[in-house]
Amino acid sequence: RSLPNPAPHPEPVVPARPTGTADRLADLAARHSEVVEVAEERAKGRQHAKGKLTARERMDLLFDPGSFVELDEFVRHRCTDFGMGDNRPYGDGVVTGYGTVDGRQVCAFSQDFTILGGSMGEAFGGKVLKVMDLAMKIGCPIVGMNDSGGARIQEGVVSLAYYAELGRRNALASGVIPQVSLIMGPCAGGAVYSPAMTDVTVMVEDISYMFVTGPEVVTAVTGERTSPQDLGGPAINSQISGNAHYVAADEQEALSWVRDLLGYLPSNNLDDVPVFGFEPTPGPTERDLQLDRIIPDSANQAYDMHEIISRLVDDGAFLTVQASFAPNIICVLAAIEGHSVGIVANQPMFQAGAVDIDASDKAARFVRFCDAFNIPILTLVDVPGYMPGIEQERRGIIRHGAKLLYAYAEATVPKVTVVVGKAFGGGYAVMGSKHLGADLNLAWPTAQIAVVGARAAVQVLHRKALGAVDGADRDQLQAKLTDEYEQKFSTPYVAAERGYLDLVIRPSQTRELVAGALRTLRQKRVERPNRKHGNIPL
């Protein structure tokens, strides 16, 4: 569709011909006032009317008060096509700079939709790349706030080039510095791929959407009718596609969540994780003892894995990543004895905690994220296995399930695993088993480690014997064989006998043992043979 004529942005009002220092200072003040303060007032009018904050207000929410230093406020484009020569706004639609978050250095860019729709052109792209390069040089996280019409149509292929440059920076920074994206308005077309390459993407209710092709193109090409929210709103991206890791109710909450997230992360892959203050709490406490009663007697009764997690971490506090996507697996960041830890846990409340395609993808990426940033991994296991089904097989549970195996095997950070309930089949193997390189494997007496559940095992092992009888006799035989199988295999002791488990413990001992293990494992060093990179199944 044709773009409306851009509204010209006024030139700064500056004193005529500055001569001495005082004049030059006044000149600078006038320029700064026009470029930042007046532009900001104009931006507030436009953004607030849409229920959105301005690019600079967002920066102020991200950074510690007064710490933000804006770069490149005088940068503007040199495009003359389509009447652009008369419309050369300073800043060029993106605010960039650095500051501190809880006293630690962070770089950021924040797209300004009020200037040329926050679209990416040469000057805009140059600013973003420059601040990303700065983040890489100093080894600090980069936070990108997206609110943009995408590639600047007037600048043609130049804008596309900058998207590719941005993607290249994202790839090279991946696993070196934490990269966080916030979607705070439109994010469409190829613009979505930069956020997708970052570690974490946050969306905001009502104001944000992201899709590769918008509703109009979808209708034109496929005939389907849809809306921006239905196609790529926060609900779709957080629950179905898995592109978003967190959805905030508003922008304030989004930025506060990002500040919390950064608090768990080191500044870069060579740094240690930040250390929080903590109160040593000798156990068993009342909350520890509650763990002794948490696993229901009936295997068919579910419990909430969060109840276990909150009893193992400092202050019962944790930050959940991708809460609504694949809720059958839980990925959280938390602290144990003041040190960050990533927890991966099956959630028996959803699909009995079975690992399906989405759960594999989610947990594999989280394990790799933790490993890249030196965050130890605690795995809590209660898994009936990989998810069976025609749809899962056809969509590639083999390929996707392999990612999780790969991620655990590859990770060299301290890995501690606690089997609290079922650990059947591939689920046993993949969920941080000793065989994938876990450093300490614990189990509760409620653990059941076997190839399959007792009922299924008896069906396979004793098919002939069961087929030979029927009625009440069959039920009786089935019950007897199931009981025999359970006695032998539905316990942790066969695995413990082989040393696949290091300790079988009372649940109420878990917090102290896990904390002690992580303390001991801080010295862990693993060297791997040099290679270009592995070939993780994608």
According to the binding rule CB under 6 A, does residue 122 interact with ligand HXC? no
- Kindly determine how many residues on this chain lie close enough to bind ligand HXC according to the rule CB under 6 A: 21
**Does 7 participate in binding ligand HXC (rule CB under 6 A)?**
yes
Q: Which stretch binds ligand HXC (CB under 6 A): 188-196, 244-252, 274-282, 489-497?
A: 188-196
Interface pick for ligand HXC out of 89, 99, 117, 232 (rule CB under 6 A): 117
Binding of ligand HXC at residue 190 (CB under 6 A)? yes
Of all helices (H) and strands (E), which one includes residue 164? helix 157-173
Of 95, 107, 135, 151, the one binding ligand HXC by CB under 6 A: 151
Minimum Å distance from CB 118 to ligand HXC?
Answer: 7
Q: Which of 97, 144, 149, 376 binds ligand HXC (CB under 6 A)?
A: 149
Cβ–Cβ under 8 Å, residues 104 and 267: yes
Residue 186 within binding range of ligand HXC, rule CB under 6 A? yes
Q: Applying CB under 6 A, does 93 fall inside the site for ligand HXC? A: no
Nearest CB to ligand HXC, comparing residues 189 and 414: 189
Q: Give min distance, CB of 369 to ligand HXC, in A.
A: 24
Among 135, 191, 247, 418, binds ligand HXC (CB under 6 A): 191
Taking the least distance from each CB to ligand HXC, the nearer of 151 and 182 is 151
Contact with ligand HXC (CB under 6 A): which of 4, 20, 282, 529?
Answer: 4
Q: Is 161 in the site for ligand HXC (CB under 6 A)?
A: no
**160 vs 503, which CB is nearer to ligand HXC?**
160
Is 91 among the residues that bind ligand HXC (CB under 6 A)? no
Residue 116 makes contact with ligand HXC by CB under 6 A? yes
Which residue's C-beta sits nearest to ligand HXC? 149
Contact 411, 368 (CB under 8 A): yes
Q: What is the DSSP string of 67-134?
A: --EEE-TT------GGGGGG---TTTTEEEEEEEETTEEEEEEEE-TTTGGG-B-HHHHHHHHHHHHH
Contact assessment for residue 202 and residue 182, using Cβ atoms and an 8 Å cutoff: yes
Q: CB under 6 A: which stretch of 60-68, 112-120, 450-458, 504-512 binds ligand HXC? A: 112-120
Q: Nearest approach, Cβ of 165 to ligand HXC (angstroms)? A: 10
Query: If binding is defined by CB under 6 A, does position 152 make contact with ligand HXC?
Result: yes
Token pair of 34 as six digits: 């026009």
User: Angle at Cα 104 formed by Cα 101 and Cα 107, nearest 5°?
Assistant: 70
Q: Cβ contacts of residue 393 below 8 Å, gap of 6+?
A: none
Nearer to ligand HXC, 114 or 374 (CB): 114
Rounded CA-CA distance 202/245 in Å is 6
**Nearest alpha-carbon partner for 380 in 327, 435, 305:** 305
The answer to whether 277 touches 338, Cβ cutoff 8 Å, is yes
Contact at 8 Å (CB) between 221 and 200?
A: no
d(CA 366, CA 260): 17
Nearest to 415 by CA among 497, 530, 520: 520
φ, ψ of residue 218 to 5 degrees: the values are: -60, -45
Pick from 273, 59, 318: nearest CA to 182: 59
For the bound state, the minimum distance from the C-beta of residue 116 to ligand HXC, rounded and expressed in Å, comes to 5
Amino acid at 357: I
Minimum CB separation of residue 33 from ligand HXC in Å reads: 22
Burial pattern 87-106, b for ≥16 Cβ within 10 A else e, equals bbbbbbbbbbbbbbbeebbb
Distance, in Å, from the CA atom of 361 to the CA atom of 358, rounded to the nearest integer, reads 5
Among 150, 234, 284, 414, binds ligand HXC (CB under 6 A): 150
Q: Figure out which of the listed residues 91, 97, 144, 189 binds ligand HXC, where binding follows CB under 6 A.
A: 189
Note the residues at the interface with ligand HXC (CB under 6 A).
3-4, 6-7, 116-117, 119, 149-154, 160, 163-164, 186, 188-191
